[in-house]
A and B are shown apart, each in its own frame.
Chain A
Amino acid sequence: MIETMAAADASAVKPPTISADASGTEPLQTQDGKREPILDLKSVRLFHDPPGTLRVTVDRNGRDGWESYSYPVARIYQAAPLSMPGRFIVLQDGKGEEIVMADRLGDLSEESVPVAEEELRRRYLTARITAIPHIKQEFGVTYWDVLTDRGKRDFVVQSMSESCMWLSDNHILITDVDGNRFEIVDREALDPHSQEQLVQVM
């Protein structure tokens, strides 16, 4: 990690990559274009202020030693929400530039994890289907009547082959006519009735 430590020197510019080290030192682009490392991911603090707006503060090495930097507007993203949900969590500032990337949620401080989870749930509005009381396919249109982790919902899918993405043999992502997303994480884990309904249209 000697190399990364050397990045503290302003002349040594290192592209932002994930550090293999668990402490996760991350280079940070400051306004004057210099990258300064965040020494410890645990020092990244996520909180809501005012309620509903995500803020992030980080510690980085500044001119006068360690400084706390605060981002009044921050957004959280998953780099691969479908194939690796909960991994490669990216925080961006209001300008859409990266503040830091965490390899996994658990790398963040204990208080920040629930905030990050709440923000992810708010941003990724994909509803997880828990049961399928009824599906009907008529004239090429599929009518779904489902229970999800966000509540009951009915929706229409125009063309099943175009609107269903198979993420694995049992993991399905369905996009309805309006662009709302529904996910069946494991179709074999659904109750027999739901599976029966699903088989009719899949």
Chain B
Amino acid sequence: MTVQDRTQESQEPSLSEAPPADASLPSGEEKILISEVADLVAEEGHAFGKREVRVTGSRVSVYDEAGALLLTVPMSDIKTARTESLVGGARLELTTTAGILPIAEFTASIAPRFSEMARGIEQLAKGEELAIKLTYEKTRCEKCHRLLPEKDGRCPACVKRMAVLGRILSYMAPYKTRVLVVASMSLLSTATTLLNPHLPREITDHVLNSKTPQTLEVGLPKLLLYVGMMLVALALGALCEAIRGWNVAFLSGNIAKDLRADVYRALEHLQLSFYDKRQTGAIISRVSQDTDRVWGFLVEGVPYLLTASLTLVGTGIYGIVSFPKLSLAILVPVPIVAVCGLLMWKPMSTLFHKVGQQWGRFHTQLNESINGIRVVEAFVQESGEWAKFDKRNRSLAQAGIFVDRRWYIFNGAMLFLTGLGALINWGYGGYLVLKGEMTFGTLLAAQQLLWQVYGPLQWFSQVNQWFSRAMAGAERVFEVIDSKPEAYENPDAVKMPNMRGDVTFDNVRFGYDKSNPVLKGINLDVKAGEMIGLVGRSGAGKSTTVNLLCRFYEADAGSLKVDGVDVKDIDLQDLRRHIGIVLQEPFLFNGTVADNIRYGKPDATMEEVISAARSACAHDFIVQKPDGYDTQVGEKGGKLSGGEKQRVSIARAILHNPRILIMDEATSSVDVETEKKIQQAIGNLTAGRTTFAIAHRLSTLRTADRLVVLEKGKIAEVGTHAELMEKKGIFYSLVETQKQTSKAVAEAASDIAYTEEEQGE
């Protein structure tokens, strides 16, 4: 969005987010190009407040909340503009001819916007054209004015619950017949439960009635008839339940499968920035736990609700029709039970939640100390770890005892309240029988009915909780499914079945966090087949540069072209098909060595696999393994050594046959001897390909055609190894430092060896 667009739009949102740029503009003044409201006030002890910063073509001005001008700086005085990052916020500073001038302070909520403003001010001060990205993100829900958990995200309160429910239900659509069967079986089994109070009543009143005793000859057929009817009802009910369960099992299995598949498919295609913000565990829980909640509700919750409410309504009607007075009397405690259930359930569920969290912490603690057992033992911290474990273990036990005790009290109270219904029945019902207004059979029927009403009632209080949890789970699941995927299916994308491998960086700027740019204008032309060594201190932007090339992230400004086409416009699959990556920590998948080498080209023949392994200097060690190429590498390749894994990953890259190769610290985690082998393998790999190599050991970059030295997000030096050494600049000093360090390390190592020898003797 250009600045002009933004200023027009800025008239819509509320004052707190976007001040009306033109409205407060006195006539005759120039147009405001950028304007932001800072939310901290330095003069008031850095308290929350409002300060508006307006940028025009000729000056930067600060206004207070009432609109009075506090400070104005002519653009011609400004040398640079930047934001100083603070803990939980930042400050906009201008470097002027008179020194550093603080302009405004603000919290982390709006820091990225001011960082863009700083960039804009610098552009204007240099007389350049204003080119910044200021998109207005919604921070509050337009409907209910609640703060949004994610900028421009959905308001969890205003998500149409019915729409979400509808979407959940849509997962049933492919299985309509089964759903129909489950629904009708639920109805039928409910109907048979209604016979439960009715048949005993008939037997008691018409067959076993002590007032009108019947002979065996007359009574027995009647009795058999009723017992037969009971048998039919019983069998029918059982059959319904069996058919229902049979289909529910099918539905739950398949719906859970469909949900998990949708989430996983969406996760695979998500932009990497989605993963930066979240923990792996949280993402995995979306695939497993959240989907569980959704299908659990769908397959078990919905039918339960259906049958429970039908039973409730059915028995209620039966009772009121057959014995109105008694029914009303029995139902007196119902509201009390319902209200108590609701009131007590809320704190109970909080307690259960707490126990769940305690379990989580217990698991984390246990997991950590078992995984780190070597460190624990090496540092003799067994007792310390034991103390931590003991503390968690105890608090877990305490929480469990606490919640269980509350639970039994809660349960006891519910039993008592429900028991009151039975008491009323015997008392008032017995009185009615004695008075002759009602038969004894009716009393028995009422007793039966009582349990059918009170049973589901106890659990109705949980339904809201159940529903809410399913909805929350559904939202998280749908958030992933609806997230903007990578642009795999852009119909306008340029197809690139063949690639030469020319790469051009044109003033590329980028930051993972927009308020903190990592790359600040990279310009570089790389010819096809050239090998570039990226050098610089950690954090200089080396890995970021290659991340942009793979389009794991997109540049904030400037352009990055491959063969003259902007990477944003190249078909993503084509782009990545031509890029190969060898990482510092090669990631192998659980499977055989051959499977891993074939990863990028699953249809490769065994001959191709072996030839790739040969080029990667991996063939020899592979065949020495008992299972050769069929060796299982284990989880994350754990059964291979670091150097072996690295060579397998190089073989994988060779077979993938990319035009552009990226090596990110590919040799830093192996010993010198292995490194030689790997260097040789890399030599085979890089031949004829455009290569970007990042290496910590600068000596390994000797073969590079050009070295690019990055410093604080900018290119500081470019040249061959020899040229840069002669120049005696940054690269030279890096090499010198490394020489000294390795010398010191070597000396220290020989000292240790010496001491060990002595000890050995």
Measured CB to CB, the residues of A under 8 A from B are 50-53, 73, 81, 121-127, 138-141, 143, 148-156, 158-159, 161-162, 176-181, 200
Contacts and interface: CB of A to CB of B under 8 A. Distances in A.
Nearest to A159: B282
B471 A151 contact: no
Interface string B440-476: 0000000000000000000000000000100110011
A154 B147 contact: yes
Contacts of A81: 87
6 contacts: A52-B101, A125-B88, A139-B156, A150-B48, A156-B148, A179-B108
Interface stretch (B38-46, B312-320, B483-491, B726-734): B38-46
Given A53-B100, A139-B471, A180-B108, A125 B40 contact: yes
A152 B47 CA distance: 9
A35 to B, nearest CB: 19
A181 B157 contact: no
B149 A177 contact: yes
B49 interface: yes
A148 B88 CA distance: 15
A19 to B, nearest CB: 28
A124 B45 contact: no
A125 to B, nearest CB: 4
Given A139-B468, A156-B148, A180 B86 contact: no
B48 A153 contact: yes
B87 A126 contact: yes
B146 A143 contact: yes
A173 B150 CA distance: 20
A51 B45 CA distance: 14
Interface in B85-114: 86-89, 91, 98-102, 105, 107-109
Interface-centre pick from B86, B88, B102, B159 (highest chain A CB count, 10 A): B88
Contacts of B148: 156
Nearest to B159: A139
Contacts of B46: 121-122, 125, 150
A151 B146 contact: no
A181 B88 contact: yes
B357 interface: yes
Contacts of A159: 282
A151 B101 contact: no
A155 to B, nearest CB: 7
B634 interface: no
Contact of B147 (A122, A143, A179): A143
A177 B150 contact: yes
B149 A156 contact: yes
B45 A50 contact: no
Given A50-B100, A52-B101, 5 more contacts: A51-B102, A121-B45, A125-B87, A127-B48, A180-B89
Interface string B23-51: 00000000000000000101001111100
A156 to B, nearest CB: 4
Contacts of B350: 200
Given A50-B100, A122-B42, A138 B157 contact: yes
B360 A161 contact: yes
Contacts of B147: 143, 154-156
B753 to A, nearest CB: 27
A159 B86 CA distance: 24
| Interface band, chain B | 35 or more
A139 B47 contact: no
Interface in B140-175: 146-150, 156-157, 159
Contact of B107 (A51, A158, A178): A178
Nearest to B100: A53
B87 A178 contact: no
B227 to A, nearest CB: 53
Interface-centre pick from A73, A155, A156 (highest chain B CB count, 10 A): A156
A150 B40 CA distance: 9
Contact of B49 (A148, A151, A154, A181): A151
Given A125-B40, A139-B475, A156-B147, A50 B98 contact: yes
Contact of B45 (A139, A140, A150, A152): A150
A93 to B, nearest CB: 14
A3 to B, nearest CB: 25
Those 5 A-B pairs whose CB atoms lie nearest each other, nearest first? A52-B102, A151-B48, A125-B88, A179-B108, A178-B109
A59 B100 CA distance: 25
A123 B279 CA distance: 28
A140 B472 contact: yes
Contacts of B159: 139
Contacts of B98: 50
A81 B159 CA distance: 39
A51 B43 CA distance: 11
A163 B584 CA distance: 32
A53 B99 contact: yes
Contacts of A155: 147
Contact of A152 (B48, B105, B472): B48
Contacts of A50: 98-101
B47 A151 contact: yes
B191 to A, nearest CB: 37
Contacts of B109: 176, 178, 180
A178 B140 CA distance: 13
Given A81-B87, A126-B88, A73 B108 contact: no
A136 to B, nearest CB: 9
Contacts of B146: 143, 156
A150 B360 CA distance: 35
Nearest to A78: B87
A158 B46 CA distance: 26
B107 A125 contact: yes
Contacts of A177: 149-150
Contacts of B86: 122-125
A124 B88 contact: yes
A50 B47 CA distance: 21
A153 B146 CA distance: 13
A122 B44 CA distance: 11
B640 to A, nearest CB: 35
A59 B282 CA distance: 53
Given A139-B157, A141-B149, A143-B147, A53 B47 contact: no
A123 B84 CA distance: 10
A7 B89 CA distance: 40
Contacts of A180: 88-89, 107-109
Contacts of B47: 149-151
Interface-centre pick from A121, A148, A150, A181 (highest chain B CB count, 10 A): A150
A161 B282 CA distance: 12
Contacts of B102: 51-53
B87 A181 contact: yes
Nearest to A53: B100
